[in-house]
């Protein structure tokens, strides 16, 4: 996260992966499509079979006997189905069951399975791409990430943490609700491409203690201890702590191999960075819930070594690392004033620290005496509050009014060299953001819902912005829904873009930055067929204005952020979900999109045009054992240098057994089953064109509930 001018490596580096479409990644796409077709045929056929009337036999059972029967919960919480079809957006939900079945280790793993989403990794952070937009180097600023409604994006980089730096252990997640489309009309800045809300589990569900330990390849180990209970009066609590450590493997970078003719001048150690990819974290979460008040708090501290020698740092050292620390407290009050009105009030306090230590060598060739550290120390502190009032008028019209404030008590960025000490940046800011919003949801004839909302945000930096959203949901028959959505969203320039500079050495500030805006039009068709099949199709078009990009000013050669780009993206997404009476469940999705610069008509960097995903879970051995298989295909993506990261597909397999013995659950996962070689486009601070990702790796996880 520092600006340093990097020389790009000439593209003489061999592309090892080949470009023959009949092998490798294209095969993955074929698998997904064929599997999806085969699966839906089977599911549809099976569906026809299960008209057997079982009610007559069931009603003859006693209550005690009925209470012993296990049910296939296709729509176990019908409120989820309601949420999906009646939400003014295209919604995807990932449940705690999915997290267990498919062996998701982080939120990023779970997001990789979502239709139209893709995740890239530079061995420092995980970056989420939505609908073809995921420029290398952009921190996840255009998605609002929340835990139980509490925003996680920090107040310096506005970044949504989705990798190992995310606050919550995935085992504490009850479900992940992903709502696509601009949602600034309710949530303000960052709700640009959509919002992700994580709903946490309840004390009632834990009903005691849970101990979980897992170990995996590359020296990975994680331990978690959680405890939760709910009393008869409705008071619940949940406490949990997790520690995680991953040693990481030895990574080979041809760009740093001295025997390579075009290698970087910092090349050393045969191009192998050993033990420089370490990742360790500690996190805690607690929640105390009363009937109308919920207090919650989370903490994470995560240190990640950087093995890529980014920003011109020394190669093969574990002294270059980033550390993210985020702690928060949140209190929410939710009260039904009467049968038709509700008031919600929330107050929260967050603190965020970021430390970046970068080891440089002043001499060429490198020499130990000329080593020095450049350090980033960033601190953010904010206090936020929200008041929301909703009232249902007799005719079924639901009106919501809200007021929000966010007081940024500190937004500090410091950058300096250690020994000899030289300070380049010492910027301290405070700012206040406030907003008012309103939404009206009107139901017509039980068949159509009109949802219209607008929000006004006021920022001290650029003034005010108004963002509307209109959605029409039409359900001609019970299980069919058509949605037409139009919305506008914005992303305010963050502290980093506004104020980070190194005193004119290589970069300067631009306090006149305006917010980015997006206009989005979308049409969705959702259909439930029987209880076992669901499909949907989405078509969308998005225009992004005033995209903030890092540029070089021709006048003084300094780097500066400017509102320069116009992007337009359009695409179609298909998804089908089927479940069979045998307990199997599968989802297939395919997204085709085109995201390009409006002026140059060039497709964006790191933008795949095709994404295909397949998830299948099958109960085996009388349903004691569950197998979860997933495959994800991504078409090729352009890199910053103008090359292509080839298309690839990855398959993951998890086999889990619940209650194998007393309270023990065990699962074994193989990630990247076929050991596919693939790389993600690198960004400006890397010499590498692509960062190669992990090959086949394993994880064994054991949980004990007592």
**Interface residue list for another protein (CB under 8 A):** 27, 30-31, 34-35, 38-39, 42, 46, 50, 53-56, 58-59, 61-64, 66-79, 81-82, 232, 234, 291, 336, 338-340, 392, 396, 398, 446, 478, 528, 531, 580-584, 616, 618-620, 622-623, 627, 629, 631, 651, 674
CA distance 131 to 182: 12
**CA–CA gap between residue 156 and residue 163 (Å, rounded):** 18
Nearer to another protein, 7 or 54 (CB): 54
Cα–Cα distance list, 546 to 491, 492, 549, 562, 568 (Å)? 10, 11, 9, 8, 12
Q: Are strands 117-121 and 91-95 parallel, antiparallel or unpaired?
A: unpaired
- Joined tokens for residue 465: 């912005």
CB closer to another protein out of 81 and 121: 81
Q: Are the beta carbons of 604 and 629 closer than 8 angstroms?
A: no
Instruction: Provide the 3-class DSSP secondary structure of residue 66.
Output: helix
Between residues 66 and 418, which has the closer beta carbon with respect to another protein?
66
Tokens of 495: 């502290």
Q: How far is the CB of 616 from another protein (least distance, A)?
A: 7
Q: Which DSSP state fits 462?
A: T
Could you tell me if 28 and 631 are in contact, meaning their C-beta atoms sit under 8 angstroms apart?
yes
User: Which H helix or E strand runs over 46?
Assistant: helix 25-49
Residue whose CB is less far from another protein, 83 or 514: 83
For the bound state, the minimum distance from the C-beta of residue 226 to another protein, rounded and expressed in Å, comes to: 17
What pairs with residue 471 in β-bridges? Answer: 451, 485
What is the nearest approach in angstroms of another protein to the Cβ of residue 402? 18
Closer residue to another protein, CB minimum distance, 71 or 555: 71
> With respect to another protein, which residue has the nearer C-beta, 25 or 312?
25
Contact 629, 616 (CB under 8 A): yes
Closer Cβ to another protein, 26 or 462, answer by number: 26
- Work out how close the CB of 75 gets to another protein at its nearest, in angstroms, rounded to a whole number: 4
Least Cβ distance, residue 483 to another protein (angstroms): 17
| DSSP assigned state of 509 | -
- Residue (of 529, 536, 580) closest to 91 by Cα position: 536
In the bound state with another protein, the residue whose beta carbon lies nearer, of 95 and 549, is: 95
Tokens of 94: 């990932």
Shortest distance, position 82 Cβ to another protein, whole Å: 6
Q: What are the Cα distances from residue 209, in Å, to 212, 238, 286, 337, 604?
A: 10, 10, 14, 36, 48
Q: Which is nearer to another protein, 50 or 274 (CB)?
A: 50
Question: Which of 320/580 has CB closer to another protein?
Answer: 580
- Closest separation between CB of residue 321 and another protein, Å? 37
Distance (Å) of CA 381 to CA 161, 286, 296, 352:
17, 20, 17, 6
- Give the CA dihedral 695, 577, 110, 208, nearest 10 degrees: -120
Nearer to another protein, 39 or 671 (CB): 39
Query: Could you tell me the smallest distance in angstroms from the CB atom of residue 336 to another protein?
Result: 7
Q: DSSP character for 507?
A: B
Are 540 and 484 in contact by the 8 Å Cβ rule? The answer is: no
| Measured CA distances, 118 to 115, 127, 471, 606, 674 (Å) | 9, 8, 26, 10, 20
- Give the nearest distance from C-beta 348 to another protein in angstroms: 24
Q: Which is nearer to another protein, 477 or 555 (CB)?
A: 477
Between 35 and 288, name the residue whose CB sits nearer to another protein. Answer: 35
Q: Yes or no: say if 510 and 560 are a contact pair by the CB < 8 Å rule.
A: yes
Find the angle CA(589)-CA(595)-CA(598) to the nearest 5 degrees: 160
Nearer to another protein, 232 or 555 (CB): 232
User: Between 528 and 561, whose beta carbon lies closer to another protein?
Assistant: 528
Distance CA 437, CA 388 (A): 9
**Tokens linked to 339:** 């049968």
Inter-residue contact 93 to 79 (CB < 8 Å): no
Q: What is the 3-state secondary structure (H, E, C) of 126-192?
A: EEEEECCECCCCCCCCCEEEEECCEECCCCCCCCCCCCCCCCCCHHHEEEEEEEECCCHHHHCCCCC
CB neighbours of residue 367 within 10 Å: 10
In whole angstroms, how close is the CB of 477 to another protein at the nearest point? 11
Q: How many of the other CB atoms lie within 10 Å of CB of 254?
A: 18
Closest approach, Cβ 39 to another protein, in A, equals 6
Measured distance CA(314)–CA(307) in Å, rounded: 9
CB of 437 to another protein, least distance (A): 20
Cα gap 346→201, rounded to integer Å: 19
Tell me the backbone φ, ψ of residue 109, rounded to 5 degrees: -60, -45
Query: Furthest-apart CA pair in the chain: how many Å?
Result: 86
* Closest among 144, 243, 157, 121 to 198, alpha carbons compared: 144
Find the shortest distance in angstroms from Cβ 353 to another protein: 37
CB of 126 to another protein, least distance (A): 26
Q: How far is the CB of 196 from another protein (least distance, A)?
A: 21
Give 69 or 555: the residue with its C-beta nearer to another protein: 69
Residue 396 or 503 with smaller CB distance to another protein: 396
Q: How far apart are CA 284 and CA 296, in angstroms?
A: 11
Q: Measured from the CB of residue 211, what is the shortest distance to another protein in angstroms?
A: 18
Residue number, 63 or 555, with CB nearest to another protein = 63
Nearest-approach distance from CB 156 to another protein, in angstroms: 37
Strand stretches in 492-532, DSSP E: 516-529
146 contact partners, CB below 8 Å, separation of at least 6: 152, 195, 196, 197, 198
Instruction: State the minimum distance, in angstroms, from the CB of residue 220 to another protein.
Output: 25
């Amino acid at each position: 996260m520092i600006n340093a001018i990097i020389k790009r490596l000439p593209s003489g580096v061999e592309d090892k992966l080949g470009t023959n479409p009949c092998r490798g990644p294209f095969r993955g796409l074929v698998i997904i499509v064929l599997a999806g077709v085969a699966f839906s045929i089977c599911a549809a056929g099976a569906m026809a079979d299960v008209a057997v009337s079982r009610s007559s036999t069931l009603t003859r059972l006693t209550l005690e006997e009925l209470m012993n029967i296990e049910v296939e919960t296709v729509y176990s919480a019908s409120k989820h189905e309601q949420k999906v079809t009646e939400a003014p957006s295209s919604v995807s939900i990932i449940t705690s069951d999915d997290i267990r079945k498919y062996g998701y280790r982080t939120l990023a793993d779970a997001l990789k399975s979502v239709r139209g989403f893709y995740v890239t990794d530079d061995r420092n952070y995980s970056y989420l791409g939505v609908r073809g937009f995921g420029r290398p180097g952009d921190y996840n600023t255009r998605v609002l990430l929340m835990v139980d409604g509490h925003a996680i994006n920090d107040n310096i980089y506005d970044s949504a943490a989705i990798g190992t730096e995310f606050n919550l252990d995935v085992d504490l997640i009850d479900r992940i609700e992903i709502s696509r489309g601009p949602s600034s009309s309710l949530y303000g800045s960052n709700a640009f491409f959509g919002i992700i809300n994580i709903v946490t589990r309840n004390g009632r569900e834990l009903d005691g203690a849970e101990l979980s330990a897992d170990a995996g390849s590359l020296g990975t180990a994680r331990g978690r201890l959680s405890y939760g209970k709910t009393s008869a009066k409705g008071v619940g609590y949940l406490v949990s702590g997790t520690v995680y450590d991953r040693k990481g493997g030895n990574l080979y970078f041809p760009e740093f191999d001295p025997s390579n003719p075009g290698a970087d001048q910092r090349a050393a150690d045969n191009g192998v960075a050993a033990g420089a990819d370490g990742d360790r974290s500690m996190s805690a979460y607690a929640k105390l819930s009363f009937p109308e008040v919920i207090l919650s708090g989370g903490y994470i501290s995560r240190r990640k070594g950087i093995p890529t020698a980014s920003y011109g740092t020394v190669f093969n050292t574990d002294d270059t690392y980033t550390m993210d620390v985020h702690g928060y407290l949140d209190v929410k009050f939710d009260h039904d004033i009467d049968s038709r009105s509700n008031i919600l009030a929330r107050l929260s306090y967050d603190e965020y620290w970021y430390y970046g230590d970068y080891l440089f060598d002043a001499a060429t060739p490198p020499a130990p005496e000329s080593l020095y550290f450049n350090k980033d120390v960033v601190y953010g502190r904010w206090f936020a509050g929200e008041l929301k009032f909703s009232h249902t008028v007799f005719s079924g019209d639901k009106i919501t009014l809200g007021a929000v404030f966010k007081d940024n008590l500190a937004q500090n960025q410091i950058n300096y060299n250690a020994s000899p000490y030289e300070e380049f940046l010492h910027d301290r800011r405070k700012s206040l953001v406030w907003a008012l919003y309103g939404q009206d949801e009107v139901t017509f004839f039980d068949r159509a819902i009109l949802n219209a909302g607008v929000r006004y945000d006021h920022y001290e930096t650029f003034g005010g912005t108004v963002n509307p959203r209109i959605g029409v949901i039409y359900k001609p028959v019970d299980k069919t829904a058509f949605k037409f959505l139009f919305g506008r969203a914005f992303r305010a320039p963050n502290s980093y873009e506004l104020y980070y500079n190194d005193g004119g050495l290589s970069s300067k500030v631009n306090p006149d930055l305006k917010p980015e805006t997006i206009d989005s039009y979308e049409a969705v068709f959702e259909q439930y067929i029987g209880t076992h099949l669901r499909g949907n199709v989405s078509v969308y078009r998005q225009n992004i204005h005033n995209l903030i990009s890092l540029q070089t000013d021709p006048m003084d050669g300094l780097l500066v952020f400017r509102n320069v780009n116009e992007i337009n993206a359009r695409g179609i997404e298909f998804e089908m979900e089927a479940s069979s009476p045998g307990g199997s469940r599968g989802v297939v999705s395919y997204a085709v999109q085109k995201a390009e610069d409006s002026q140059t008509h060039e497709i964006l960097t790191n933008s795949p045009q095709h994404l295909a995903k397949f998830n299948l879970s099958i109960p085996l051995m009388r349903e004691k054992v569950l197998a979860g298989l997933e495959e994800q295909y991504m078409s090729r993506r352009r890199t910053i240098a103008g090359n292509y990261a080839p298309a690839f597909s990855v398959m993951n397999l998890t086999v889990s057994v619940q209650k194998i013995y007393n309270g023990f659950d065990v699962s074994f996962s193989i990630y990247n089953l076929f050991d596919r070689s693939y790389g993600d486009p690198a960004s400006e601070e890397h010499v590498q064109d692509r960062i190669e990702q992990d090959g086949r790796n394993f994880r064994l996880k054991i949980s004990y509930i007592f």
